Amino acid sequence: MIKEIDGGVCAAKGFKANGVHCGIRKSRSKRDLALLYSEKVAAAAAVYTTNLVKGAPLIVTKEHISDGKAQAVICNSGNANTCNANGIEIAEQMSQLLADELGISYKDVVVASTGVIGEPLDISPIQSGIPELSKGLGDHSDLAAEAIMTTDTRKKEIAYEFDIGGVKCRIGGIAKGSGMICPNMATMLVFVTTDALIGPELLQKALSNDVKTSFNMVSVDGDTSTNDMVTVLANGMAGNAEIKDESEEFEAFKNALHAVTTYLCRMIAKDGEGATKLLECKVVKSRTEIDARVVAKSVINSSLFKAAMFGADANWGRVLCAIGYSGADVDIGLIDVSFSSAAGSIEVCRQGSGIGFSEELAKKILSEDEIQILISLNDGTHSATAWGCDLTYDYVKINGDYRT
């Protein structure tokens, strides 16, 4: 039984958070430095962007958690610390300054940055902001979620309670992500905390498998960021017996983790830059799970289809087109397509061909802010879901003057 609760990344026992404005971003109304802290050293796992251009914080974090442990996360917004000659040095300084303030090892610090690529990051505002950041630690998941935002229009956080062997455990997460989202390993910045007791190897296995059907299935614009990272910290303070193998308890943990990740996936997709609609594409009756994933992601990635959804145009031909070039092994002559939303449902394609339908009803259905695209391949038993958003005029406006 998984139950939604309040608290975000502070819902789990032993975790505190904070977010402040330190001066990286010009506007004092925008927080730009976040901190997550565990009272105990936690098991740590992460997945990273597959972009060959990687932010310095990812390189440093990967080294720091190579022992499977971490106790704190520091993240700045407004500057990605990517493609900078001294990027590694700055990321290490961030870790050391925070470690000195908290009295922990710098090797137990996860460091992350997000924002403009290729601009030098000055350590001075971070150094001056860390004491305030540490002093204000508390149940402030919302402040941390705010501090990692860039072009995001809303904070993204969630928490759940679940049972492991009769013991109540909690898991929560925050995320940032609005543009430059089409990952192949992770997406944007996501930080998950849990008080469940699980070793780093199983934690990594759970996360690596989870992203295949969660963050790897999100697309806003087809671009893969240089700083994408998902990190999970598990401090064991719930008091459950340690999860040591792929048991029933491990399945319970994976289910709770997936509840967090898929919720954040939907929030990221819905908050896509300039977006007015969340698109959820579900592919069913596929020959293989891989084919289902490929088809769902191809449709969500299609700029033409995304533009049609912005205009509430039931142009189902763009769905078939995206399936046709996806590379999936499908029989186009078997495919059915329908659109649905809170306003109803309508079938628009049967066995690969158009059928008569009410354009008026279709327009009404596609004018809602959450749209479902159901694709039946009618060739098997597997399924997959992908999340995306419509493509609007504002996407170009936002990215046309991003640096200003």
- pLDDT tens for 81-94 read 988 889 999 999 99
Torsion angle of the four alpha carbons 230, 234, 238, 240, in this order, in degrees rounded to the nearest 10 = 110
Say yes or no: 167 and 261 in one domain.
yes
Length of the chain (residues): 404
Average pLDDT on 184-201 reads 83
Report the helix count and the strand count for the chain, using DSSP H and E. Answer: 11, 15
Average pLDDT on 229-234 reads 95
Residue 403: per-residue pLDDT? 53
Average pLDDT on 165-178 reads 92
Parent domain of 302 = 278-400
Say yes or no: 257 and 290 in one domain.
no
Among the listed residues 49, 114, 187, 385, the single catalytic one is 187
Residue 348: per-residue pLDDT? 98
Say yes or no: 229 and 312 in one domain.
no
Given 203, 237, 270, the domain boundary residue is 270
**Residue 120 clears pLDDT 80, i.e. is over it:** yes
**What CATH number should be reported for the domain holding residue 230?**
3.60.70.12
Q: How many folded domains does the chain comprise? A: 2
Average pLDDT on 245-269 reads 95
Q: Which residues contact 206 (CB under 8 A, 6 or more apart)?
A: 45, 198, 232, 250, 253, 254, 257
Say yes or no: 22 and 111 in one domain.
yes
Residue 96 Cα distances to 1, 22, 91, 147, 349, angstroms: 41, 17, 9, 20, 59
What does the angle CA 259 – CA 265 – CA 271 come to, to the nearest 5 degrees?
A: 135
**What CATH number should be reported for the domain holding residue 317?**
3.10.20.340
Say yes or no: 195 and 305 in one domain.
no
- pLDDT tens for 18-52 read 999 999 988 777 899 999 999 999 999 999 877 77
Q: Which ranges constitute the DSSP H helices of 114-247?
A: 123-135, 141-147, 200-213
231 is catalytic: no
Q: How confident is the model at residue 395 (pLDDT cuts 50, 70, 90)?
A: confident
